[in-house]
Chain A
Amino acid sequence: MIWYALFFIVPIGFIIYYSFGTKDTTQLLPVDLTNLTTSNYSNVFDATFFQVFKATIRISITATLLCLVIGLPVAYLAAFKVSERWKAIILAAVVVPSFTSFLIRTVAWRIPLAPNGTLSKWLVDLGWIGPNGIQILETTTAVQIAIVYNYLGFMILPLFVALDRIDVRMREASKDLGAGRVATFFSVTLPLAGPGIIAGVLLTFIPMCGDYVTATILGGAKGNMIGSMIASQFSGAQNWPLGAAMAVLMIGAVLLTLAVGALLVWLLPRAFSLFAPVAERVRARSYARSAQAVEHGSAQTKLPFDPIVALMRTWAVLVMVFLFVPILLVILHSFNRSTSFTIWSGHTSLKWWSELFDGGSAWAMVVRFAVIIALAFVVRMVLTRTTSIARRRLNWVGPIGFAIAVVANGLLTDWYRDIFDFAGIGDAIRNSFIAALGATIIAVIIGGLAGVALARRPGRWATVFMAVVFLILVTPEIMDAIALATWFPRIQDIPVLGYPFTEGLGPFNGGVNKLWVGQSLYASAVVTLIVRARLAGLDESLEEAAADLGATPSRAFRQITLPLISSALVAGGLLSFTLCLDNAVISTLISEAGSTTFPVALLGATRSTIKPFWGVGAVILFAITMAALAFVAVVLRRSGSSSSDIAATLTGS
């Protein structure tokens, strides 16, 4: 609670306070608070700024609905219509793209959409579009496409988890009662999937509202979004009060939209019930028809070729193409020869890979790495043959070998100086991992404790606390970003408290510590929710039993509660790690020279020409992330979770 007070409530409070101030660039903090005024608010409403506001909300709502429409069939297919194996493959395919750098994926959209690009030229040659080529970049359309793309995964996963949980028997019962598939879908499946839909909408809509990266990279002047406008008020224009006012209004707008959405969701079934007689008649007729069909031994359910499922499969394949094309383009363009990432020179070349790497030491490292891993397997084989150690233990040899390889190659220390010629990228990748790891640990600890407290100690405090967590979840990131960016300089001067942020802790400098706090904010709220949801599903009798058996509260916590929530902690941790690794908005505004992460560095580079070595960096980052994930997955499998469980934990349900 104190944590949140310190790094969320108070900073946000200051932003609200600033929003009544006036601009004064002569001071270090360019806000004059002596004459409080509401003129900033009227400025927002007066000016054309309001247009951008409306555009942002419009883009976000459209994108959320598109995500829902695009994602639902895929989630449905994965949940009901395919084998376990394919389920895992589809889920992996949906998750994997989100482990590529968000920014580079967005930048990659410039490649197929460029008016002079290959795709554009083909379309022109085919005569499908005018001679000017694809004119989508620098418009709202480009932003719309990329935003749907960027958030689609966050919609599909919760949908899948919700659908997957539906008891198949419910659907079968519905069909047995004579409902057609359409009727079953609308009256059984969809209502049961409700919570998943709501989670998906929240997970996509709110970040979209605060997203400024996509609009900055693809939107040009026409596709502007409020996030970039607020950011530019804080950095470029140095008009903090106006930016603060915009940010406050934005939270208001987001809450309002959500409220309207909730109202609609609440109203819709009731509105439907008005038409109940009509619907009933339609339903009755469809029942009758399907009953007839059943009587006549209709082929519908027995057809070897089911058109709807086929359609869904095609759709899913299209969605996968949509999800993977930008990533493949990133990989292709990292072998680009031209001086700019987005412009394809027409030839593949290793130019930028060799420019980035110090060839000799990089290869030496790869070789060392491979040798250690190979050794681990040899050891394992030898041990299996010669000793009688349990298989279960032997299975750990692989991961341990991997860990030794990581440490022995200095992957935790100075590798980036050795293998990269251009230190910036290696540094950024390393900082990304350090920041994301630290933030994840903080998020898991704080979120875990908070979740337990919320689930087990209800009361007035819990309500307040829950409200704070909810507020953190709905506050667009840009707001947290500016709040923290203006907050840190203030607390730096406070003794003890400011210490970690100026002097750093041990080997981690102040900037990294700031990133830990900043990135863990949203992540810890997510963990809180997951842990709470997990505990809410279990009754307290186990802990009570432990207490009855004489366990102290701390012991009961250690031996009962902790194991119970461990899967939720792992889930929350994984989700946090992904979120933190990709965090650009908060990190950009609070990072310092010594703590630049990959997204921050790349965002800086997007301001001018992006060199192809950024693509190379993204590919490396992706490879390392996947390796780390594979490691986690192996460990998880050792502890006996199925792929479906892992997917479910990923979305935190």
Chain B
Amino acid sequence: MDKEIRILAPESFRENLSRRAFLKAGTAAAGMAVVLAACGGSDDSSSDTTAAASDTTAAGSTDGLASGEWSRVINKSSGTLAMYTWGDYNDPELVGALADSELGVSMKVDYYASNEDLITKLSASNGQSGFDIVVPTGPYVPQMIEKGLLQKLDKTLLPNFVNLDTPYVSQPWDPNDEYVVCKDWGSAGFLYDTTKITRDLATWADCLDAAKNEASGNVAVIDAAWDFCGPYFWSEGKSANTTDAADLDAAEKFLVDELGPHIKAFDSYPSTKIAEGAYSLAVAWTGDARQAFSRIKDAGGNPEDWKWVLPGPKTQIFMDTYAIPTGAPNPEAAHAWINWNLIPEISIKDLSYHGYHTGMKNMDQLLSELAPTLEKPDMIFFSNEQVATMEPQEMNEALDRLVDILNKTKAKAGA
């Protein structure tokens, strides 16, 4: 198999691959990934696990899904499993009753708001954080590995890994799939209230313009440096990963001075507050944006009043991953959890909740059989043309500057 195939569909992830300086750890074993990517086989890497559970004990129905094609190993575990993750990022049933009954673990979940939060927490506790699972975004993985915050995965405990589709494994941040496993991936765009903003918005430039005009004072933006600054760069036709000093200066000038005073909140999960009526324009990650529609309905509002835009010319793509931190008290349960989440039925159940593509093989077939009534699929699955416009974050020296810009904007917005 050629390496080309194995890279996440968006070319953009791959573009960055060559430039990554932190890949040295992975290069030695570049060939390894090929074996794991072999499609179809369910048993090649699970020989020494409790594979007896395969296929028969899978959660939910298996009707219609050709069983041979999927690996459905469940490794029973025990004790407590502490997960540190993003807010509202797992189906509560999976984390609650199902984890208890199917895996035998009782879950505890804590939340963080940004990758920086996660890294601070893990590094401040020096391997004593007590978490078993964390969910970093791809580009942050190398620095976490470098700081020794993550431990290597025991692939023999992850037989269901083969269920992941090739574009979502062997990512540049972990080319040999040693440390992380794809949880899901998504993008970001914006939502606006068509009763307040009557014109059609289609691009980031439109969005920023409306933010300064019709939506002034009712704008929510994502509270994470790169995600916050990206829209400006894209609206200018630039890359959000620019390190050019002039570009960064211009960004600071625009975001702090021009946009800052119009911002109502730095809110990475605006869906609830949209339903409360707090915003008329909100930048949001796709999953939360999708949930906004059901929350508006819950609150007695009219979801038709709101419009979702996946803006051009470019927008972001991110992949969040499951990883096990160094010093995790219950790594066995952590592996069991990750492996369990790679079972198609579980994965699709989770997907239906949070609204992000989980990277399973044969997604179309899975959906038609497991979740035929999924609402707003266009906010979860993107066409190749759309994906081609999505840019992943790149770790570079500009990030400090972006963090600085975000903080200055916060101060300005509050002034």
A140 nearest CB neighbor, chain B only: B414
In Å, the complex CA distance between A232 and B120 comes to 11
In Å, the complex CA distance between A502 and B126 comes to 10
Q: Which residues of B contact A610 (CB under 8 A)?
A: 272
A160: CB under 8 A from chain B?
A: no
B16: CB under 8 A from chain A?
A: no
Report yes or no: B276 in contact with A220, Cβ–Cβ below 8 A.
no
Q: Which residues of B contact A594 (CB under 8 A)?
A: 82, 130, 329
In Å, the complex CA distance between A343 and B267 comes to 17
Report yes or no: A601 in contact with B110, Cβ–Cβ below 8 A.
yes
B108 nearest CB neighbor, chain A only: A424
Q: Which residues of B contact A49 (CB under 8 A)?
A: 411
- Given A596-B110, A607-B113, A340:B298 Cβ within 8 A: yes
**A-B contact number at CB 8 A:** 205
Report yes or no: A609 in contact with B88, Cβ–Cβ below 8 A.
yes
Q: Which residues of B contact A233 (CB under 8 A)?
A: 407
Report yes or no: B120 in contact with A238, Cβ–Cβ below 8 A.
yes
- Given A138-B278, A593-B130, A355:B96 Cβ within 8 A: yes
B interface residue count range (under 10 / 10 to 19 / 20 to 34 / 35 or more): 35 or more
A48: CB under 8 A from chain B?
A: yes
Q: Which residues of B contact A234 (CB under 8 A)?
A: 120
In Å, the complex CA distance between A345 and B408 comes to 38
In Å, the complex CA distance between A609 and B285 comes to 14
Shortest CB-to-CB span from A639 to chain B, Å, is 40
- Given A221-B266, A232-B407, A340:B275 Cβ within 8 A: yes
Q: Out of A23, A235, A238, A355, name the residue touching B92 (CB < 8 Å).
A: A355
B86: CB under 8 A from chain A?
A: yes
Report yes or no: A607 in contact with B269, Cβ–Cβ below 8 A.
yes
Report yes or no: B108 in contact with A221, Cβ–Cβ below 8 A.
no
Shortest CB-to-CB span from A557 to chain B, Å, is 39
Report yes or no: A609 in contact with B269, Cβ–Cβ below 8 A.
yes
Q: Which residues of A contact B86 (CB under 8 A)?
A: 608
Report yes or no: A342 in contact with B276, Cβ–Cβ below 8 A.
yes
B81 nearest CB neighbor, chain A only: A423
B126 nearest CB neighbor, chain A only: A489
A503 nearest CB neighbor, chain B only: B128
The contact string, 1 if C-beta is below 8 Å from chain B, for chain A 212-254, is 0000000011111000010011111111000000000000000
Shortest CB-to-CB span from A607 to chain B, Å, is 4
How many of chain A's residues have a CB under 8 angstroms from any CB in B? 72
Report yes or no: A238 in contact with B116, Cβ–Cβ below 8 A.
yes
Q: Out of B82, B109, B276, name the residue touching A110 (CB < 8 Å).
A: B276
Shortest CB-to-CB span from A246 to chain B, Å, is 11
Shortest CB-to-CB span from A287 to chain B, Å, is 52
Q: Which residues of A contact B97 (CB under 8 A)?
A: 421-422
The contact string, 1 if C-beta is below 8 Å from chain B, for chain A 39-61, is 00000000111011001000000
B124 nearest CB neighbor, chain A only: A489
Q: Out of B108, B271, B288, B403, name the residue touching A596 (CB < 8 Å).
A: B108
In Å, the complex CA distance between A29 and B125 comes to 10
B117: CB under 8 A from chain A?
A: yes
In Å, the complex CA distance between A338 and B288 comes to 16
Report yes or no: A489 in contact with B125, Cβ–Cβ below 8 A.
yes
In Å, the complex CA distance between A222 and B125 comes to 33
- Given A343-B276, A509-B130, A611:B92 Cβ within 8 A: yes
Q: Which residues of A contact B269 (CB under 8 A)?
A: 607-609
B119: CB under 8 A from chain A?
A: yes
In Å, the complex CA distance between A611 and B92 comes to 10
B340: CB under 8 A from chain A?
A: no
- Given A220-B267, A339-B294, A422-B95, A604:B110 Cβ within 8 A: yes
Q: Out of B298, B403, B413, name the residue touching A236 (CB < 8 Å).
A: B403
B39: CB under 8 A from chain A?
A: no
- Given A51-B415, A110-B276, A607-B87, A592:B128 Cβ within 8 A: yes
In Å, the complex CA distance between A110 and B276 comes to 8
Interface residues of B in 101-139 (CB under 8 A from A): 106-114, 116-117, 119-121, 123-126, 128-132
Report yes or no: A604 in contact with B111, Cβ–Cβ below 8 A.
yes
Q: Which residues of B contact A232 (CB under 8 A)?
A: 407, 410
Report yes or no: A138 in contact with B264, Cβ–Cβ below 8 A.
yes
Q: Which residues of B contact A492 (CB under 8 A)?
A: 126, 128
Interface centre among B96, B128, B263, B269 (most CB of A within 10 A): B128
Report yes or no: A221 in contact with B414, Cβ–Cβ below 8 A.
yes
Q: Which residues of B contact A605 (CB under 8 A)?
A: 87, 111
A422 nearest CB neighbor, chain B only: B96
Shortest CB-to-CB span from A435 to chain B, Å, is 14
Q: List 12 A-B contacts (CB under 8 A).
A: A115-B278, A221-B266, A224-B411, A236-B113, A236-B117, A339-B298, A342-B276, A424-B108, A488-B125, A489-B124, A592-B130, A605-B111
Counting from the closest, the 10 A-B pairs by CB-CB distance are A608-B87, A593-B130, A116-B277, A115-B277, A220-B265, A224-B414, A604-B111, A221-B413, A593-B82, A608-B269
Q: A114-B278, A502-B128, A608-B269 are in contact. List 6 more A-B contacts (CB 8 A).
A: A28-B126, A52-B415, A120-B277, A346-B300, A594-B82, A609-B295
